[in-house]
Structure 1
Amino acid sequence: MIQWNKYLNLSSPKNNKLILWFAGAFFFLALFIKFTSEVFEDNKIQNIDQSILLYIGTNLRHTLLNGLAVDITALGSPALISLVTLITMGALLTAKDRIGALYLFLAVSGGTLWMSVLKKFVGRPRPQIISHLVEVEGLSYPSGHSLVSTVTYLTLAILVCRHIKSYKVISVVLVTATLIISLIAFSRLYLGVHYPSDVFSGMLFGISWVLMLTAFFKTFTGKMEKSL
């Protein structure tokens, strides 16, 4: 039976950290909901979306960069995300870290499921502002590459940081994960297959999901205590 009194003890430093995790999750979820409502109610955001894509198509595209953008976007592809997830889960299970493996599995699979649900619920078609440099199918909002890559690389960063004591090294790990996520997000714009609001919303929801899942694991398993 869950002893709720130990989780509701606000004087506990551990519980104070948990409150921050949950607060962060709800904060980013609220941002996602608010931003989504603004995207489809405010023409200004739609105009900004179109202007940014037109600028990219007119001023930033170059034949030498096209291949690089395709390679970068592959870092967030379902195939590579699945491969990275399976390899990491295998390594965690080999190290007898079943909680870490379960955490990663639920993060990525849950993020993928949420992405599919949100796309169908919103039903936004792909942009046709500039030419698509890759073939794509499905709906546009939120960006699946952006959401799932945010979930995957942020989760991997948290798993790595469990074993690091230096805050400087932790900062490097988080900055690296953020850079990878940002490059993948921008590649979707460069390739012309997403609006800026698609990728931004994907990152917002992805962060919210990871924070929420981490908070639950830290609360109910007691095995994520070495994480951030």
Structure 2
Amino acid sequence: MISAREAIARAGERLELRVVLAVLLVAGALWGFVALAGEVMEGETLAFDRALLLALRDPANPADPLGPSWLREVGRDMTALGGIAVLTLLTIGVLAFMALRALWGAAGLLLASVLGGMVASNLLKAAFDRARPDLVPHGSIVMTASFPSGHAMMSAVVYLTLGVLLARVEPRRRDKAFILSCAVFLTLLVGVSRVYLGVHWPTDVLAGWCLGAAWALGCWLVARWLQRRGAVETDHAGQ
């Protein structure tokens, strides 16, 4: 049997390993975005973008996405999950849930994360000012620049941030895993739908995922740091 002191030491080592891994993942995601941005600005990704975008189209008629007509409607439904209206309603709903559970610190962190992500997304779009794909008709209305994908980035920011924050206040590992899996799945669906509808180049979506993932992991690190100082509520497992 191990002593209580040894058990505490081992638990501390596991926690620190998680933090180190999260920091490395944030750094890797940011590096991925910077590398993609550089390649996009130099035009090095155009061949890849064109090939993948056209691969999702009928070779005989590039105006038609692959699959039956109902799949296009599904694609529009999926892309709506990353729209500002859906993400705003979802965020408000989770904020209300956190308020009911008196998780005021977590609610404040969530609100700051979502608003900060929106500002960052709009600033980056304006800075890069990349044109939307012109190979195929757009399957959804677009009003902003293309890089990075706002839907991909904000779905990652909102769903992954919600996932990591809700996972922090859930005591059971099974529940944590389910929440995080749903968040990742929804984020992937939104990004893929943007390319399928022809409104984004694939590298726009990849860049949005990189930034959104880095943002969400950064929020997880901030949440841990604030929890240790009592500014954000801890979960029942004390992790």
TM-score by length of 1: 0.86
Deviation at 1:211, TM superposition (A): 1.3
* Matched residues, number: 217
Q: Is the 8 A contact 1:61 1:190 kept in 2?
A: no
Q: 2:63 maps to which residue?
A: none
Helix, strand or coil at the partner of 1:138: coil
Separation in 1, partners of 2:48, 2:110: 35
Q: 2:47 maps to which residue?
A: 47
Q: 1:38 maps to which residue?
A: 39
CA RMSD of aligned residues (A): 2.1
Separation in 2, partners of 1:95, 1:163: 10
Q: 2:20 maps to which residue?
A: 19
Q: Is the 8 A contact 1:154 1:210 kept in 2?
A: yes
Cα deviation code 1:15-65 (max 9, x no counterpart): 55433333322221111111211223253x211111111121226143121
Q: Of the candidates 110, 113, 126, which is equivalent to residue 132 of structure 2?
A: 126
Helix, strand or coil at the partner of 1:137: coil
Q: 2:74 maps to which residue?
A: 68
Matched, 1:193 2:194: no
Separation in 2, partners of 1:166, 1:96: 20
Cα deviation code 1:59-110 (max 9, x no counterpart): 6143121111111111111001001101111121221101110121112111
Opposite residue 19 of structure 1, the aligned amino acid is V
Q: Structure 1 regions of 5+ residues with no counterpart? A: 1-11
| Alignment CA distance shift 1:224-1:41 (3 Å) | farther
Q: Which runs of 4+ in 1 moved over 4 A?
A: none
Q: 1:7 maps to which residue?
A: none
Deviation at 1:192, TM superposition (A): 0.7
Q: 1:144 maps to which residue?
A: 150
| Alignment CA distance shift 1:83-1:99 (3 Å) | same
Separation in 2, partners of 1:94, 1:166: 20
Matched, 1:210 2:216: yes
Cα deviation code 1:196-218 (max 9, x no counterpart): 00011100000111112221232
Q: Structure 2 regions of 5+ residues with no counterpart? A: 1-11, 60-65
Cα deviation code 1:113-146 (max 9, x no counterpart): 1101111111101111111112211100000000
Q: Of the candidates 175, 179, 182, which is equivalent to residue 185 of structure 2?
A: 179
Moved more, 167-176 or 45-54: 167-176
State percent identity of aligned pairs.
28
Q: Which is greater in Rg?
A: 2
Opposite residue 50 of structure 2, the aligned amino acid is Q
TM-score by length of 2: 0.83
